[in-house]
Structure 1
Amino acid sequence: MIPTGSHHSQARDGSLAGVGPSTGSHHRNPTPYSLGDSSASATRITPGNALRPEDIALAAAEGTAHPREAVAEYALRLGDDALILAQRLGHWISRGPELEEDVALGNIALDQLGHARSFLTYAGAAWGKSEDDLAYYRREPEFRSAHLFEQPNGDFAVTIARQFIAASYQYLLYRELTRSSDPMLAAIAGKAVKEVDYHLDHSTQWVLRLAGGTEESNRRMIAGLELMWPFVGELFEDDPLIAEVGDAGVVPSSLKEEFDRATAAVLAEAGVEVPAHPMATGGGRHGRHSEHLGYLLAEMQVLAREYPGASW
């Protein structure tokens, strides 16, 4: 089990070799949706009535949580994003640049896995499937994650670049989704946005530290951003499903202006330019993925497929 700890405590000191001290100037105050404190994480047992995947499954079994088809498809997209990102971040466990960052990335991965479980459980209620059915027994073309989340970790700076984009997007998305007309989606988002707020702080501090550290860390941070930025566009594409979901979901394109403004402010403080590379083709929302997802799924699904129904 991953030890628990603050996701972003390591971002506050400058002990990583080759990286300058944190500026501390970009610390973000908790969002109005961040009720409670920083311990309100999927990786901790905390007081209160936070929604759990088990609660969603029970509501589905009792017939009180049954999303319409379009809402289930929408929840599937969000669940797949979080699931694939959790798998990527989990690869850093025992490989972090130092122990505290190893713990931080592991905890963020667990938070993402918690979000995935909730969204997939709710989506599965429409089709009589469990979270495990959707995670382990779908083929690659049946996954609806955006291309960003399946990109390889690369070095630490590449992972931070991907995480900075992902957290910036998810924070805005979940913040708006708390206003969903679908009570279950709103409840899932209300829990997730508090956790992603700290994921965003963690990645922001690392962007600033790496860009403002040594010549080598600056070069790697810029290279990581240039590698990941082409996948930004797909996150904000609208399609017919979004129109069908209506006010139960969030129109992706409505988030783009604030995303651009917020990320540009961080990169300006870091002294680096927003990458100007053309956007990648995309297609992940419709099952068209890069060559990377198949390998990730093969590793993730092998145990469940080799021993279906196994328990321990």
Structure 2
Amino acid sequence: MSDDHVYMTLAEGQDDGDARWAFGTGFEDPLHGVPTAVPEGVDREELAATCLTLGDDALVTAQRLAEWTTRAPELEEEVALANIGLDFLGQARLLYARCGQADGTRRGEDAYAYFRDADAFRNVTLAELPNGDFAFSVARLLVLSSWRLAHFEQLATTGDPVLAAIAAKGAKELTYHRQYAAEWAVRLGDGTAESHRRMQNGLDQVTAHLGELFAAHDARGAVLAVLEQVTGAAGLSLTEVPGPAVGGGGREGDHTEHLAPLLAELQGVARAHPEATW
């Protein structure tokens, strides 16, 4: 394995003919032909909660990624981060739509995205933290995409056909997100002394939040395997990893002070013109 291309090994097992960003136009509707009725035996409340939490993670992550537009180190990275953010946004839309079907309210995606206050959101707090420098955002994307990918791979075989289809589509997207973040982690970690310092600092900050992620979904083995591979190639150190957190956190509505301002910016137009159509 070449250290310069460690991120390529993370995509092993994927269809070589599909080596491109998953986001774009002209793709078939991932839910085309999938029945929307909740099957018998599927717990509607649990299904709605799963869709809501994963939708919130995706929406908040998309908003943070959008903030890199005009601020990324290079134009190419602005395009890449924008595409990744749009992937997350697409996941949020599908998950919110399914949530409205599962919880019986028939609410649409806008109701979940624009007309809930911060204390009603159930995203993990790592997603809502300010972007910091580029290295921190790379470390966060590496961890979130690895953790979310492990979750989606499990959900791709869940009993609800709609959630399974969303997860199967999302897993392909997340594979590329993880690949992108891993490439940059190696580039920065194995770069200059300053880039190494920043990448290590960003990784340390993100690692401190792993306990909440593992409490929300225990993907410890999958996440640590990725981090150990990437840090080994980049010459970075993996600090002590916390076990699953007990109580509190974003899944229970316990957020940092950073979520409310993020939502205010995200929701401002929709709340000012609640009946508008576009």
Query: How high is the TM-score relative to the length of structure 2?
Result: 0.89
- 1:162 pairs, out of 131, 137, 140, with 140
Cα displacement (A) at 1:229: 1.3
Alignment-derived partner of residue 296 in structure 1: 262
- 2:235 pairs, out of 271, 281, 284, with 271
Q: Distance between the aligned counterparts of 1:115 and 1:139, measured in 2?
A: 20
Alignment-derived partner of residue 78 in structure 2: 102
Alignment-derived partner of residue 192 in structure 1: 170
- Say whether residues 1:287 and 2:248 are aligned partners: no
Map Cα deviations across residues 96-139 of structure 1 (whole Å, 9 max, x no partner).
11110110000000000001111111001222211000000011
Regions of 4+ moved over 3 Å: 29-36, 277-282
> Structure 2: which 5+ residue stretches go unaligned?
none
Cα displacement (A) at 1:65: 4.7
Other structure's SS at 2:240 match: coil
Q: Distance between the aligned counterparts of 1:33 and 1:77, measured in 2?
A: 27
> Are the aligned partners of 2:11 and 2:179 in contact in 1 as well (CA < 8 Å)?
no
Map Cα deviations across residues 11-62 of structure 1 (whole Å, 9 max, x no partner).
xxxxxxxxxxx8124413645465961346233323x45237xx88xx65xx
Alignment-derived partner of residue 37 in structure 1: 18
Q: Distance between the aligned counterparts of 1:49 and 1:299, measured in 2?
A: 30
Other structure's SS at 1:273 match: coil
Alignment-derived partner of residue 243 in structure 1: none
Map Cα deviations across residues 260-305 of structure 1 (whole Å, 9 max, x no partner).
1221121111111112376777510011101110110011011111
- Say whether residues 1:68 and 2:44 are aligned partners: yes
Q: Distance between the aligned counterparts of 1:167 and 1:97, measured in 2?
A: 21
- The one-letter code of the counterpart of 1:275 is T
RMSD (Å), alpha carbons: 2.3
- Say whether residues 1:146 and 2:111 are aligned partners: no
Q: Distance between the aligned counterparts of 1:99 and 1:226, measured in 2?
A: 27
> Are the aligned partners of 1:82 and 1:113 in contact in 2 as well (CA < 8 Å)?
yes
Q: Distance between the aligned counterparts of 2:78 and 2:135, measured in 1?
A: 14
Alignment-derived partner of residue 262 in structure 1: 226
> Are the aligned partners of 1:33 and 1:193 in contact in 2 as well (CA < 8 Å)?
no
Q: Distance between the aligned counterparts of 2:223 and 2:140, measured in 1?
A: 14
Q: Distance between the aligned counterparts of 1:122 and 1:35, measured in 2?
A: 31
Alignment-derived partner of residue 242 in structure 1: none
- 2:31 pairs, out of 51, 57, 74, with 51
237 and 35 in structure 1: CA distance in 2 versus 1, 3 angstrom threshold:
farther
Greater Cα shift, 92-101 or 105-114 = 92-101
- How many residue pairs get aligned? The number is 269
- The one-letter code of the counterpart of 2:70 is S
> Are the aligned partners of 1:143 and 1:284 in contact in 2 as well (CA < 8 Å)?
yes
- 1:172 pairs, out of 150, 172, 182, with 150
Q: Distance between the aligned counterparts of 1:143 and 1:151, measured in 2?
A: 14
> Are the aligned partners of 1:65 and 1:122 in contact in 2 as well (CA < 8 Å)?
no
Q: Distance between the aligned counterparts of 2:118 and 2:235, measured in 1?
A: 39
Q: Distance between the aligned counterparts of 1:260 and 1:288, measured in 2?
A: 26
- Say whether residues 1:114 and 2:90 are aligned partners: yes
> Are the aligned partners of 2:6 and 2:233 in contact in 1 as well (CA < 8 Å)?
no
Other structure's SS at 1:289 match: coil
Map Cα deviations across residues 177-218 of structure 1 (whole Å, 9 max, x no partner).
111111111100010000110000000000000000001100
Other structure's SS at 1:237 match: helix
Q: Distance between the aligned counterparts of 2:118 and 2:210, measured in 1?
A: 21
Q: Distance between the aligned counterparts of 1:297 and 1:122, measured in 2?
A: 22
> Are the aligned partners of 1:115 and 1:192 in contact in 2 as well (CA < 8 Å)?
yes
> Are the aligned partners of 2:6 and 2:229 in contact in 1 as well (CA < 8 Å)?
no
Alignment-derived partner of residue 28 in structure 1: 9
> Structure 1: which 5+ residue stretches go unaligned?
1-21, 239-251
- The one-letter code of the counterpart of 1:223 is N
Alignment-derived partner of residue 200 in structure 2: 222
Greater Cα shift, 64-73 or 151-160 = 64-73
Q: Distance between the aligned counterparts of 1:34 and 1:198, measured in 2?
A: 12
288 and 208 in structure 1: CA distance in 2 versus 1, 3 angstrom threshold:
same
Map Cα deviations across residues 81-104 of structure 1 (whole Å, 9 max, x no partner).
000000000001121111101100
Q: Distance between the aligned counterparts of 1:277 and 1:24, measured in 2?
A: 25
